[in-house]
Amino acid sequence: MHDVAVVGGGPAGSHVAGRLVKLGYDVAVLERKQYLSEPVCCTGIISRECTTTFAIDEDLIFRWANGARIISPSGEVVKLWRPEPQAAIVDRVSFNISLASRAQGRGARYLMGTQVRAVKVQDDRVVIEAGCDGEPLSIEARVAVIATGFSLGFVEGLGLGRISDSVPGIQVEVAAPTIDDVEVYCGREVAPGFFGWLVPTSPGRALVGLLARRSLGTYLEKLMSSLEAQGKIMAANSEPMHWGIPLKPLPKTYGQRLMVVGTAAGQVKPTTGGGIYYGLLCADIAADHLDRALAADDLSARSLARYEREWKKKLGRELRVGYWARKVYERLNDGQIEKIFDIMQSSGILEDLLKDEDLSFDWHGGVVSRVFNYRVFLKTIAAMNLPTGLIKRLTSWGRGGG
Ligand SMILES: Cc1cc2nc3c(=O)[nH]c(=O)nc-3n(C[C@H](O)[C@H](O)[C@H](O)COP(=O)(O)OP(=O)(O)OC[C@H]3O[C@@H](n4cnc5c(N)ncnc54)[C@H](O)[C@@H]3O)c2cc1C
């Protein structure tokens, strides 16, 4: 019997596996992909903070970004830029491989092409039922870590509740010989309630994508036609890929002999959909708590509950504030988005934020609170006829609530 069975060999799963195997535990990772070199539907933008915290190898980074050009519905460009790099664009496939190789190098056993169907918790073990090459496979471990990414049905089957809000995303790789800046496109014609992006990766290539609750393919075609017409991109290099992003966390991320980490747990920034950094942070917290629980041989729900308390202490407010900020943004029409662009620039809010050391790519709760502290901003939002419940929350953020 293994000490730990990790279901899912993405960044969160491989990081937990790597940490635990280093501590001396016997870890198996069950991954449904045959090869980790299979494409991943992700843009691969992570903060500089993430690269430092997790010692991300420079070789995995396509390029650094000092900021982004944000484009309003009418085409007005706001350049968010700082003298030092703010984010790295990583080669997402190599990133997965590197984390898995790190874990394997330390002794984790990867079972590739293994699709887990059920996780059965017994008093003294978990039994994981999977299929590999068409054959049934059963694995036993003292505890299971679920790191299956966006997998609503699978996670719901664990009996820990369900992720109640999520959004699909779509992305395609294109030829883009002249693009150097990250561009973010706002407006209901581009990606209603969300945003589209053009992100340069390796020389001459870029990713074009967007999040939207419906008609992803149509919006992507429209965005690509517009970028082609502007001469920013040329032909698509591949078929579009789509995948989902949770916007709210799973109600419960632990159970007896069970932990859920990363995107499977909804540990994702609801503002941007970025899930790599939060997933890795929570994978660290999970590994710390599992170490203690395995050593004490106490894998009860009560013991593993500490993992959830800890990750919520770190991210809970971020996720709540980010979600409500997202709900506000989703209700805005193009005129209102333009108005916010105007206010942010004309009243100096943007300039102040860019000077502020605390403005962070990863921690949006503080930024939202700061912005709502500007009376002019609050007044502008208050005049937008948003539901009173939302306005109340906004006002409380301005006062530091969450
Ligand atoms: C279009 C798009 C763009 C994105 N861009 C960014 C970005 O720029 N920056 C960022 O931080 N985040 C981004 N994200 C989110 C990011 O991709 C995820 O948050 C991140 O991959 C989560 O890592 P994870 O390890 O939790 O899950 P995943 O990376 O999804 O890994 C889960 C693994 O589990 C495996 N698996 C699933 N079910 C089973 C099963 N039943 N049995 C066995 N194996 C299974 C999968 O094959 C997969 O390898 C984006 C998402 C989308 C959709």
What CATH number does the domain containing 23 carry?
Answer: 3.50.50.60
- CA–CA distance, 115 with 34 (Å, rounded to integer): 10
Number of domains in the chain: 3
For ligand 1, atom 3, name the residue with the nearest CA: 42
Asked whether residue 217 falls in the same domain as residue 365, the answer is: no
At 348-369, the pLDDT tens digits run 888 888 877 767 777 777 777 7
For ligand 1, atom 4, name the residue with the nearest CA: 42
Helices (H) and strands (E) in the chain, counts: 12, 18
Asked whether residue 101 falls in the same domain as residue 206, the answer is: no
For ligand 1, atom 37, name the residue with the nearest CA: 148
Asked whether residue 239 falls in the same domain as residue 179, the answer is: yes
Instruction: Determine the residue of 33, 48, 89, 276 to mutate for testing ligand 1's pocket, defined as the one with the most ligand atoms within 8 A of the Cβ atom.
Output: 276
CA of 171 to the centre of ligand 1 (A): 14
Asked whether residue 22 falls in the same domain as residue 97, the answer is: yes
Whole-angstrom CA distances from 254 to 6, 8, 310, 319, 362 are 14, 16, 12, 18, 25
Residues flanking ligand 1, CB < 6 Å:
7-13, 30-33, 41-46, 114-116, 147-151, 154, 169, 171, 209, 243, 245, 262-264, 268, 273-277, 279
The runs of H, that is alpha helices, within 259-300 are: 276-295
**What CATH code is carried by the domain that includes residue 208?**
3.30.9.10
- CA–CA distance, 38 with 10 (Å, rounded to integer): 12
Rounded to 10 deg, the angle between the 388-398 and 301-331 helix axes is: 110
- CA–CA distance, 144 with 296 (Å, rounded to integer): 16
Cβ proximity of 315 and 267 under 8 Å: yes
Say if residue 321's pLDDT is above 90: no
pTM given for the model = 0.95
For ligand 1, atom 10, name the residue with the nearest CA: 274
Domain residues for the domain of 275 are 2-40+91-163+248-315
pLDDT class of 124 with cuts at 50, 70, 90:
very high
pLDDT class of 237 with cuts at 50, 70, 90:
confident
Averaged confidence pLDDT in the chain: 93
DSSP string, 304-340: HHHHHHHHHHHHHHHHHHHHHHHHHHHH--HHHHHHH
Asked whether residue 115 falls in the same domain as residue 13, the answer is: yes
Q: Would you call 139 exposed, middle or buried from its count of C-beta atoms within 10 A (0-12, 13-18, 19+)?
A: buried
Asked whether residue 217 falls in the same domain as residue 334, the answer is: no
CA of 276 to the centre of ligand 1 (A): 8
Q: How many CB atoms lie within 10 A of CB 173?
A: 19
Asked whether residue 15 falls in the same domain as residue 157, the answer is: yes
At 147-203, the pLDDT tens digits run 999 999 999 999 999 999 999 999 999 999 899 999 999 999 999 999 999 999 999
Asked whether residue 269 falls in the same domain as residue 298, the answer is: yes
99 in any annotated domain: yes
Asked whether residue 222 falls in the same domain as residue 363, the answer is: no
CA of 107 to the centre of ligand 1 (A): 23
Asked whether residue 155 falls in the same domain as residue 174, the answer is: no
Asked whether residue 151 falls in the same domain as residue 98, the answer is: yes
Relative to beta strand 109-111, strand 27-30 is parallel
